[in-house]
Homo-oligomer: A and B are copies of this chain.
């Protein structure tokens, strides 16, 4: 029997735990944690992500603020205007943490914006200081998706310690930070981690050696049955929008794993949607809670 790792239910449970802690905080006279988000333009995916984050704030009892900045080809947002908003949030004592929803329009230097965020409020964990501390194993705001995966494994009693973990994809927001977390000393780490990518020859022979296989490359259905060892745990980070005329939205989310054929072979697998996705937002909530606590 394959265990379907239910990220939706797990994230709901964690959000309820957070809400309880927030209730304790406010009962003790503290204000609720406050997450702010800057959204530039009207990208469909970004609108959805930000809306989900604000909804999660409400579920956790957090205060949330949305700062919308317009940017069109005719009237592109000036980078300095965006940086000014970042500085305002850095200096606002009522804001515990904030995010700038990515991707940003191409004319804006994304890295400059990330580095302008006060690392103490960088609840996305993208600032180099947080990336570096995560690598070294120091307390920091962990990158949301990797932290969500680590938490999901933990809640399902799947220890990575002593296991072979193969990560397919070397992105800065999933592959690399997840590798750093899983190779750290400790019960939530101690894995032997291999990172594969587009320059890896004979990929299938490596993925087949994995006790835990993480697909994070953004190519729908890329991981097929022959690439997975019987009994492996498969974590699917892919969330590509695939056109689908039968849906009202006109698309469906597709993971990087050929779920139908791979699932029967696994000991456990995350579905898409409802697997890793909801956990990413929960990590953001946990980071914001932590930011609020640090200040108190």
Contacts and interface: CB of A to CB of B under 8 A. Distances in A.
Interface in A116-170: 127-138, 161-162, 170
A201 B162 contact: yes
A1 interface: no
Contact of A170 (B131, B177, B183): B183
A227 interface: no
B195 A183 contact: yes
A136 B132 CA distance: 9
A184 to B, nearest CB: 8
A296 interface: no
B128 A133 contact: yes
Interface residues of A, number: 36
Contacts of A132: 127-135
A199 interface: yes
Nearest to A191: B199
A192 interface: yes
Contact of A138 (B128, B177, B185, B191): B128
Contact of A199 (B136, B161, B179, B195): B161
Contacts of A161: 199
Nearest to A138: B111
A206 B183 CA distance: 15
Contacts of A111: 138
A200 interface: yes
B199 A135 contact: no
A193 interface: yes
A41 B192 CA distance: 38
A179 B294 CA distance: 32
Given A127-B132, A135-B135, A136-B128, A193 B190 contact: no
Contacts of A179: 179, 195
Contacts of A63: none
A210 to B, nearest CB: 11
B183 A197 contact: yes
A46 interface: no
Given A131-B135, A135-B132, A192 B183 contact: no
Interface of A: 111, 127-138, 161-162, 170, 172, 176-177, 179-180, 183-185, 190-197, 199-201, 206
24 contacts: A127-B132, A128-B131, A128-B132, A128-B133, A128-B138, A129-B132, A130-B132, A131-B131, A135-B172, A136-B176, A137-B172, A162-B200, A162-B201, A170-B185, A176-B180, A176-B183, A183-B195, A192-B194, A192-B196, A192-B197, A192-B200, A192-B206, A193-B194, A194-B194
